[in-house]
Amino acid sequence: MSSDPYAEAAAAGKARHVLVLANETVAGRTLLEALGKRAAKGPIRVTVVSPQHEPSAGFVVYEDSRRSSAERRLRRTLDLLHEAGIAARGAVVDPDPLQALKDAVYEYRPDEVIVSTHPPERSRWLKKGLIEKAQKAVKVPLEHVVVDLDSARERTHVLVIANQTMVGGPLLEAIQERAQASPVEFTLVAPADQPGVERRLKVALGRLREAGVEASGHLGDPDPVNAALNAVQDEDVDEIIVSTFPEATSGWLRRGVVDRIREGTKLPVAHVVVAASEAEALV
């Protein structure tokens, strides 16, 4: 009869070390439940490694924009684990998941590994045979956890795409109204195509946080459509808000940006118009 590794670790006064490899699914409920079941058997400590990945469209002007998306997902997961009383740490790592796993196993010497992915029809990792390759490369027990795409998330994730109108009153008011409707978090992405974009983003985030709205943000591809597509690839997004100037003065509307984002992401897209007089000129 095999022994219980959790009981053995507890008897030795140790916590069993679980290494988690996950990217978009890092905050998935199924993954968190798998860790919770282990914690119920005995003390564990968790190390989460989250590979960043390449954008699907265009290019990202600032190298850390993809990394910031991975870091936000990782931070949410660590917060949830800490709330559950589970000791956890994490890092954003090499974009290649197999190499990231090999490096992490070598560095952290875990007792077991969990690899979390989307279902086969969506997971690029599974299409590349990651699980089979990982099982051959890793000499500790490995479990594959599939995150259910249809499982309810605790809060809605809204992506906001704006630039010159980022600090406009109508946009900030629309975000606050959405925040009051149901539990939600926002990611503001500012296409880096106009002077002063970093300043506007910083001011908008500061005002939302002062209003008690959970929001983070980063610069994106200069093309607003590519910026939206990249953000949707980087994170699980439920809704999108796009803010522009009125039709008579909006280059984005002349280029059909709102409709193209709606078509490209297949997500609900709300359009908020901000007049030039309502948008602060921050350069």
* pLDDT tens digits for range 31-62: 888 999 999 999 999 999 998 765 554 444 44
Would strands 112-117 and 184-191 be described as parallel, antiparallel, or unpaired? unpaired
Q: Report how far residue 131's alpha carbon sits from residue 155's, in angstroms, rounded to the nearest whole number.
A: 30
Residue 219 DSSP one-character state? E
What distance, in Å, lies between the first and last C-alpha atoms of the chain? 70
Select from 156, 235, 248, 229 the least CA-distant residue to 191. 229
Of the segments 53-67, 136-150, 175-189, 248-262, which one has the largest average pLDDT value?
Answer: 248-262
User: Considering all CA atoms of the chain, what is the largest pairwise distance in Å, rounded to the nearest integer?
Assistant: 76
Would you say residue 2 has pLDDT above 70? Answer: no
Look up the CATH superfamily of 156-278: HUPs (3.40.50.620)
pTM of the shown model: 0.62
Class of domain 5-146: alpha beta
CATH 3.40.50.620-classified regions of the chain: 5-146, 156-278
Residues 6+ apart with CB under 8 A from 278: 165, 168, 169, 170
Distances (CA, A) of 81 to 44, 84, 85, 121: 11, 5, 6, 28
